[in-house]
Structure 1
Amino acid sequence: MITYIKKLLNGQPVEWKTLGEVGTFVRGSGLQKKDLTDSGVPAIHYGQIYTYYGRSTDETKSFVTEDLAEKSRLASPGDLIIATTSENDEDVCKAVAWLGEGALVVSSDACFYSHSLHPKYIAYIFESHIFQDQKRKFITGTKVRRVNVRDLAQISIPVPPLSVQEEIVRILDKFTELEAELEAELEARKQQYEYYRNSLLSFANDLEGGGKIVYKTLGEVFFMRNGYTPSKAKQEFWEGGTIPWYRMEDLRAGTRVLSDAIQHVTPEAIKGKGLFKANSIIMATTATIGEHALLAVEALANQQFTNFEIKPEYKGMLLPKFAYYYFFVIDAWCKQNTNVSSFPSVAISNLKTQEIPIPPLTEQVRIVNILDKFDALTNSLTEGLPQEIELRCKQYEYYREQLLIF
């Protein structure tokens, strides 16, 4: 790859320049979410850079009125829109190249970078180690992490001839297009899996072959208790801890069968009825409603979760993995029955009355085996499309770094 770049350069020099030398950073305007409309002048709110946009875009999700746009600082086509604040270091300076035809309004907590480079080349640079390693020394703040535009201007990047920038973009675009195609196929398979899962978990009164289905409420089948956060002020609850303590971040990490956590607590942090048992379920009943996981080990979780432990009298009737799969149905009910207030939640008294079907164990085993296979194909990082996407991501990152070595 280095030989290929040398051939492209054909003896032309590659200068290293600071971002301040090849462009100008302009802070965004005081745009707020309430200012966003469905039509008008294109606008990007800094939060959308994390949640909605990829590396580049030629259209926006939101707009503002022309009156507001006239009072705002406007980015131009080709500018890079940069989120300058985040809750974590990795996302600080996440950027999107604006490839639309007209001016663009940018919110506060973001800036735009007007430059003389290929728009997508600089977007790729912002993802690379060249930029990321230099960025870290300029990050400040505690809960909210931020970078000042004056500091960004000091970061050095390679500036090859425009023709070389274009070729680098062409190559990297091919990798990202393939990755996008795989992700679209994976999303279609996930929808197919969810449809099939819902079909398997929708029971008639009796099964073919005469098997009976028993319906019980969640309150009848499960012991239910809330999670909690041990005091952060007491180091003895946290220092050297080995007991998994789950938060929503653990569920977002990928797997829904949990055997370890990002954070751990000590035995001194355990209170009340003790640890949540292995083969029990945790489900979010506040904040991010209706997300659940199966615990493979004894653990604790924060107060966002309610724990569901199968009562002794039902352990011979209900497989934990079948209950785990049926909780996707319970998730959907929770999302439709959320108490909307300043802090969304599900009424536990109503949740306890929801029924769970208990088919014969042979039928539960059959359903679990089928859904395990579907789940592996759509979610496992060791097989199927997720594995291929993971490999493509690593391949893209490798070639991105190689192409940007000068």
Structure 2
Amino acid sequence: MNKIEELLMRKCPNGVEYKTVGEIATNIFRGSGIKRDEVTESGTPCVRYGEIYTTYDISFDSCISHVDEDRITSPKYFGYGDILFAITGESVEDIAKSCAYIGNEKCIAGGDIVVVQHNQNPKFLSYVLSTQDVRKQKSRGKIKSKVVHASVQSIKDLIIPIPPLDIQAEVVRILDEFYKALNQIDEKLQEEIMVRQQQFEFYQEKLSNSFRDVATILLSEIADIGTGSSNTNEELDSGDYPFFVRSQEVRRKNEYEFDETAIITSGDGVGVGKIFHYVEGKYALHQRAYRIHIHDNRISPKFFYQYMKATFLPYIQKNAFNSSVTSIRRPMLNNFPVPMVSLDSQEKFISLMTNLESNTNNLINKIEKERIARHQQYEYYRDRLLTFPKQK
């Protein structure tokens, strides 16, 4: 019999009481709006709702954002132990994600955040609010759309186990050890992924550099170059044709704009010089994404696709006015030098790059599967540990 079982036998012989968040709360309130341009590097610590999804997990003791509180109308403050819920999100599965603040500063809660104050162990509440059972409660009745909302009342109605504080503390101690071990494994696996990616980039650069001293031709001389006319909001969940935007994700539309073999790349945003697609057939294209249709039979489209992926980012970084490239201008594409090598050499390059990419992706996928398995294992034991016999 472990310590938790002993404590349960002694303190909860008839089971653990389950309560709603509203019943255990001493105070519940919504935060006040903080605009993006109001966030500063110094001032009063604050949390905006998006940071609960992207930055904070079970608990945190310091804020990454700050604000001049004199600029905030009716600021809402939170402190040690308070639970923060993000009541706006982009997915039904993750709506109302929560975390516990365990720092000592007085902080401001941004809009679309619900703050719950209480007298329980904050990390225990944060762990139990992340279980599959509670996540199902959070998403119940929500409709899938681009923006998903929860309410203060839906937070109040969440039902969770509330064992005595010493049992809560023991659960937190065990889960903290599990969580620490998970993060250590995760870091090692992430490092392994980075090594594989660096290894791929090394050989990619080495292979593409083999064409450094050959004659070149400008891309504009061998290709039609242009942009699409579609907008992101025209995508459909299950359209008839691929719809290329400015990300690695391929979306769908019911109308097509082009019917050809082409290389697609992002015209602006974070994917500049990093996002490439190869397409054969009918497709739609975003108005800020470029299509490159090779019309010269001396250059294989697949060769150009692989060569561009390997060399285009260094090329635009070298030729840009700013160190960080945020957009591509048409002359950058027009003047991109393409090596004029034999079709046999092109086919060899295609084969080598395709095999290298496939092998690298297979290795990375195996590592990702291991990461997923470790997270599932952690979540299984976390949920088991946080499942108590209900009070009779």
Task: Classify the TM-score, shorter chain.
Answer: 0.7 to 0.9
TM-superposed CA distance for 1:162, in Å, is 1.7
Quickly say closer, same or farther: Cα 1:363–1:295, change in 2 above 3 A. Answer: closer
Among 292, 300, 315, the residue aligned to 1:308: 292
Asked whether the 8 Å contact 1:294–1:324 carries over to 2, the reply is no
TM-score when scaled to structure 2?
0.78
Is the partner of 2:209 in helix, strand or coil? coil
Q: Give, in whole Å, the separation in 2 of the partners of 1:297 and 1:125.
A: 49
Is the partner of 2:40 in helix, strand or coil? coil
Is the partner of 2:129 in helix, strand or coil? helix
Is the partner of 1:300 in helix, strand or coil? strand
Pair 1:156-2:176 in alignment: no
Identity percentage over the alignment? 23
Among 385, 392, 397, the residue aligned to 2:374: 392
TM-superposed CA distance for 1:281, in Å, is 2.6
Q: Give, in whole Å, the separation in 2 of the partners of 1:198 and 1:145.
A: 42
Q: Give, in whole Å, the separation in 1 of the partners of 2:147 and 2:135.
A: 18
TM-superposed CA distance for 1:247, in Å, is 4.3
Q: Which moved more, 1:21-30 or 1:114-123?
A: 114-123
Quickly say closer, same or farther: Cα 1:312–1:186, change in 2 above 3 A. Answer: same
TM-score when scaled to structure 1?
0.75
Q: Give the letter for the 1:217 counterpart.
A: L
In structure 2, the residue matched to 1:10 is: 9
Quickly say closer, same or farther: Cα 1:133–1:68, change in 2 above 3 A. Answer: same
Is the partner of 1:223 in helix, strand or coil? strand
Q: Give, in whole Å, the separation in 2 of the partners of 1:232 and 1:101.
A: 43
Deviation sequence 1:138-173 (CA, Å, 0-9, x none): 547965321111221011112233234324523541
Q: Give, in whole Å, the separation in 1 of the partners of 2:382 and 2:319.
A: 40
Q: Give, in whole Å, the separation in 2 of the partners of 1:336 and 1:125.
A: 50
How is 1:277-288 mapped onto 2 (pairs within 5 angstroms)? 277=261, 280-288=262-270
Q: Give, in whole Å, the separation in 2 of the partners of 1:239 and 1:143.
A: 12
TM-superposed CA distance for 1:284, in Å, is 1.6
Q: Which moved more, 1:2-11 or 1:97-106?
A: 2-11
How is 1:63-102 mapped onto 2 (pairs within 5 angstroms)? 63-65=66-68, 67=70, 72-102=75-105
Among 161, 180, 195, the residue aligned to 2:186: 180
Q: Give, in whole Å, the separation in 1 of the partners of 2:5 and 2:123.
A: 21
Q: Give the letter for the 2:30 counterpart.
A: R
Pair 1:293-2:291 in alignment: no
Aligned length: 373
TM-superposed CA distance for 1:135, in Å, is 1.5
Quickly say closer, same or farther: Cα 1:67–1:7, change in 2 above 3 A. Answer: same
Asked whether the 8 Å contact 1:200–1:367 carries over to 2, the reply is no
How is 1:255-270 mapped onto 2 (pairs within 5 angstroms)? 263=252, 265=254, 269-270=255-256
TM-superposed CA distance for 1:335, in Å, is 11
Q: Give the letter for the 1:165 counterpart.
A: V
Pair 1:126-2:147 in alignment: no
Quickly say closer, same or farther: Cα 1:395–1:224, change in 2 above 3 A. Answer: farther
Q: Which moved more, 1:311-320 or 1:217-226?
A: 311-320
TM-superposed CA distance for 1:27, in Å, is 0.9
TM-superposed CA distance for 1:349, in Å, is 3.8
Quickly say closer, same or farther: Cα 1:394–1:240, change in 2 above 3 A. Answer: closer
Deviation sequence 1:322-381 (CA, Å, 0-9, x none): 23532652696499579x9xxx7532243222224456334554455445434443xx42
Q: Give the letter for the 1:45 counterpart.
A: R
Q: CA RMSD in A?
A: 3.9
Asked whether the 8 Å contact 2:208–2:311 carries over to 1, the reply is no
Q: Give, in whole Å, the separation in 1 of the partners of 2:307 and 2:292.
A: 10
Q: Give the letter for the 1:326 counterpart.
A: A
